[in-house]
Structure 1
């Protein structure tokens, strides 16, 4: 999962170390740069989530441009780099034990264990977890000891699958708890075909700003029935799903826009007429202005 790393300070040379091992599809890594560093621009196309556990020094993980979570020894931080941006600062004494987990593995585990894909309500949440004496830290200790004692048995086979599943299920529970998402809420049980078809239609046609009547007609039901199904199985109306897809679409385009692109033109392409309302909704959702995203994308 490529990323950009730069030293914090001048005239300093890294003294880096890294050891890695596989646990099924999960990569466990212990590393240190030996100097303070700032890391950014994690490759979203790699399709991975990242769980960083501090075992020496401290780390500062940025939730957005203004808020950060510090992880002292024994604490972890989770971010899905395939679904959101991420920056982290490590102090000169840092030592990390990290897990790189394919996003599709987490999605599959969520479907197998909880019956639904949590979506961006979870995948875009950047949260701290664990801590001294926590069960999560205990699991990380067990993982590290298992790697030390029998690394060849963890690359594939029954033990690898068991530990891989244990890590993913525990992570999903811890992550969801801190993101304010109840994985056992009945509204999250596997939704009927009409809800899933409506979601797919809205994902594909979000920029066209379909009405709820358009959506209902496309999946062969009424607006009333569709709204009731979303309320029962998703906990929010279909219009909220469409609104999220439009904001996400505008953000993707802003992030990849060429030099000279304008916020107003991109917003208009996603059905926004009132630029003030778009800017307010965007800042509330992503913690930054649309122009900030555009500037970073064209830098």
Structure 2
């Protein structure tokens, strides 16, 4: 069975996704159970007599983020209650849905997505032709980022505005297209953990910037609150974890200050941002691998150290070391 993640108006290409199909089923109980393995256990009922589900679901996970496509093939009522441990962005490609979440309610269609927050009890009615593309995001990823941005250093659960006119938001559209492209090609998230971590952060940051929410404003912190010892603490952490996924909120927790203060301190003390400092460490790691590992390939080394764009990697590498990656490879 050949199916696709298709996004009308975003891409002219119809990308075959049969290898990402999780299931196809006409059994209501089986459909409920299999969707629940990706989302959460929920109540699922067919609305109206004489209808039968003809469901299919595609799924691709990128760490704490997953891209999903789901169609039930019948008018259904879905009652997941509070989502609990994840946020969910639902974008109909066809059909429509009526979503009630907490005190908010929205009629969702191909122009209007719904953004479900984890603490709000949710009930949904999907039309029989409703075909939804969904981005599931682990709650902790969002809550950590919100807490770090607010300057409170602890995870902070937020509530998004339910209705989201996603097609009018170029950054989110580009992000969804990028996820779609990643899902359409062979990709082993376990092999490229740094890229997966970057993708997680990109999804969270884009959603926080694109969709209104109730996150509190950051506390006012004087730049003098960031002392050299805080910056040095983060430097040591980054040197010890350059080959591991590192997020901005992790660095803020290590430093014990808000992101705003951490970045201000790094700029003043090091002349670069923490992420730029980390990128330099990863360039150093890539160089060491090129000079010491037998039978290595430049592309493999670059991706292992979190550089997805080989052209940009080569430029940055040459700027730092005065020679290209291929020249370093020949010097072994």
Q: 1:34 aligns with which of 58, 66, 73?
A: 73
In structure 1, the partner of 2:41 is 2
1:69 and 2:112 aligned: no
Separation of aligned partners in 2, 1:59 and 1:189: 44
SS of the residue 2:91 aligns to: strand
- Contact (CA 8 Å) 2:80, 2:121: kept in 1 or not? yes
1:1-25 Cα deviation digits (max 9, x unpaired): 1111111111211110001011111
- Distance of aligned partners of 1:11 and 1:41 in 2 relative to their CA distance in 1, 3 Å threshold: same
Q: 1:172 aligns with which of 192, 205, 208?
A: 208
> Where do 1:138-153 residues align within 5 Å?
138-153=174-189
SS of the residue 2:73 aligns to: coil
- Contact (CA 8 Å) 2:151, 2:218: kept in 1 or not? no
Q: 1:130 aligns with which of 142, 165, 182?
A: 165
Q: 1:102 aligns with which of 138, 145, 164?
A: 138
In structure 1, the partner of 2:89 is 51
1:22-63 Cα deviation digits (max 9, x unpaired): 111122211100111111133655x12211111111121114
Question: What is the RMSD computed on CA atoms of the aligned residues?
Answer: 2.7
- Contact (CA 8 Å) 1:2, 1:43: kept in 2 or not? no
Separation of aligned partners in 2, 1:58 and 1:89: 9
In structure 2, the partner of 1:207 is none
Which structure: larger Rg? Answer: 2
Separation of aligned partners in 2, 1:137 and 1:119: 26
- Contact (CA 8 Å) 2:87, 2:117: kept in 1 or not? yes
SS of the residue 2:184 aligns to: helix
Separation of aligned partners in 2, 1:188 and 1:91: 47
- Contact (CA 8 Å) 1:22, 1:154: kept in 2 or not? no
Separation of aligned partners in 2, 1:15 and 1:188: 54
In structure 1, the partner of 2:231 is none
Structure in which a larger fraction of residues adopt helix: 1
- Contact (CA 8 Å) 1:3, 1:43: kept in 2 or not? no
Number of aligned positions between the proteins? 181
> Where do 1:1-299 residues align within 5 Å?
1-42=40-81, 44-45=83-84, 47-64=85-102, 68-81=105-118, 83-116=119-152, 119=156, 122-123=158-159, 125-135=160-170, 136-153=172-189, 156-175=192-211, 177=212, 179=213, 181=214, 185-187=217-219
How far does residue 75 in structure 1 lie from its aligned partner after superposition? 3.0
1:194-235 Cα deviation digits (max 9, x unpaired): xxxxxxxxxxxxxxxxxxxxxxxxxxxxxxxxxxxxxxxxxx
Runs of at least 5 residues in structure 1 that lack an aligned partner in the other structure:
191-299
How far does residue 95 in structure 1 lie from its aligned partner after superposition? 0.7
Runs of at least 5 residues in structure 2 that lack an aligned partner in the other structure:
1-39, 223-332
TM-score, structure 1 as length reference: 0.53
- Contact (CA 8 Å) 2:114, 2:163: kept in 1 or not? yes
Separation of aligned partners in 2, 1:149 and 1:63: 35
TM-score, structure 2 as length reference: 0.49
